[in-house]
């Protein structure tokens, strides 16, 4: 309970802060984005040509989904629409995530009522998602510039003006993913083996689930930015290129399912339970 409150206060203070760890400078056709400082030879990826400068720093020409290339027509075509239309689409998708999560959670309740024993066994496996989030959080630092590329620049959709640099938001979301993933993993293991945790850790399972539920929803703006502007992870996706529309649809559905699982695990948290 105390852990959740502290983390929630921390998240609110982060959103209200204007501190930036470093500023991501968007590339232009003549001024290019740095993605790596490792020496490399000239190569051609499926999404564009990569050229090393004299000091070995990689730079890219204006390519779809990278730097200024995010302003090129995306497969969805959304970034070529008027900003009010873009805003309506983005907010509609965020609202759909909430509605979809509610429907999916209700479906899980129905399954639980119909097959209580099997559902209980399956439910104990859900915390296995924790290690996945820990690894995802670590990737925010190992692929830092990649994640900065999918963070919406200020002014995107006509309403995105969140304080802080892309680097700052990639950093704090990575930290929260690691913390939430560890809490879910520890709480899940203790629950699976009926081990009693110290009082301060007794709510790790629901608290960790709620943290990951909130974080998954918040970072959905980056996922939606990939859809509306065709943004990609330059290094991680250099062979795949832009995500097709079908890929965005599949990810959206999986995201709803994940949110429902986290909500199911987190709603037993005393504060949340008292509000339901």
Weakly modelled stretches of the chain, pLDDT under 50: 1-60
Antiparallel, parallel or unpaired: β 43-45 and 58-60 = unpaired
Q: What's the Cα-to-Cα distance from 177 to each of 24, 44, 69, 183, 213, rounded to whole Å?
A: 22, 33, 29, 10, 10
Distance CA 89, CA 220 (A): 13
The average confidence (pLDDT) of the chain is: 82
Residue spans per domain, the chain: 2-26+64-275
Query: What tokens were used for 113?
Result: 């009522």
Helix 129-142 with 166-192: angle, nearest 10 deg: 160
Burial zone of 239 (CB within 10 Å; 0-12 exposed, 13-18 middle, 19+ buried): exposed
What local confidence, expressed as pLDDT, does residue 215 receive? 97
Write down the pLDDT at residue 247.
Answer: 95
pLDDT of residue 164: 96
pLDDT at 163: 96
* Chain segment 157-199, per-residue pLDDT in tens: 999 999 999 999 999 999 999 999 999 999 999 988 888 899 8
Contacts (Cβ under 8 Å, ≥6 apart) of 241: 45, 46, 47, 64, 65, 232
Closest CA to 127 of 223, 240, 208: 208
Confirm if 191 and 124 have CB atoms less than 8 A apart: yes
pLDDT given at position 268: 84
Angle between helices 204-218 and 220-229 (to 10 degrees): 30
Give residue 181's pLDDT.
97
Q: pTM of the predicted model, to two decimals? A: 0.76
Give residue 108's pLDDT.
Answer: 98
């Amino acid at each position: 309970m105390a852990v959740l409150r502290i983390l929630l206060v921390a998240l609110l203070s982060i959103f209200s802060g204007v501190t930036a760890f470093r500023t991501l400078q968007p590339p232009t056709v003549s001024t290019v984005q740095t993605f790596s400082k490792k020496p490399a030879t000239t190569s051609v990826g499926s999404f564009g040509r990569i050229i090393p400068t004299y000091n070995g720093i990689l730079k890219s020409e204006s390519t779809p989904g990278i730097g200024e290339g995010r302003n090129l027509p995306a497969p969805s075509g959304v970034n070529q629409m008027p900003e009010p239309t873009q805003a309506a689409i983005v907010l509609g998708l965020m609202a759909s995530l909430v509605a979809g999560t509610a429907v999916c959670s209700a479906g899980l309740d129905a399954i639980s009522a119909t097959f209580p024993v099997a559902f209980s066994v399956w439910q104990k496996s859900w915390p296995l998602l924790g290690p996945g989030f820990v690894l995802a959080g670590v990737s925010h630092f190992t692929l830092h510039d990649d994640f900065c590329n999918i963070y919406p620049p200020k002014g995107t959709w006509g309403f995105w003006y969140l304080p802080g640099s892309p680097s700052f938001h990639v950093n704090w979301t990575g930290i929260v993913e690691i913390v939430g993933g560890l809490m879910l993993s520890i709480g899940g293991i203790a629950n699976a083996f009926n081990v009693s945790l110290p009082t301060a850790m007794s709510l790790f399972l629901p608290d960790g689930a709620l943290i990951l539920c909130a974080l998954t929803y918040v970072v959905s703006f980056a996922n939606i930015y990939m859809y509306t502007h065709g943004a990609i992870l330059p290094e991680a996706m250099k062979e795949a290129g832009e995500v097709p529309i079908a890929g965005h649809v599949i990810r959206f559905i999986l995201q709803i399912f994940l949110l429902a699982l986290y909500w199911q695990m987190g709603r037993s948290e005393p504060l949340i339970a008292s509000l339901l």
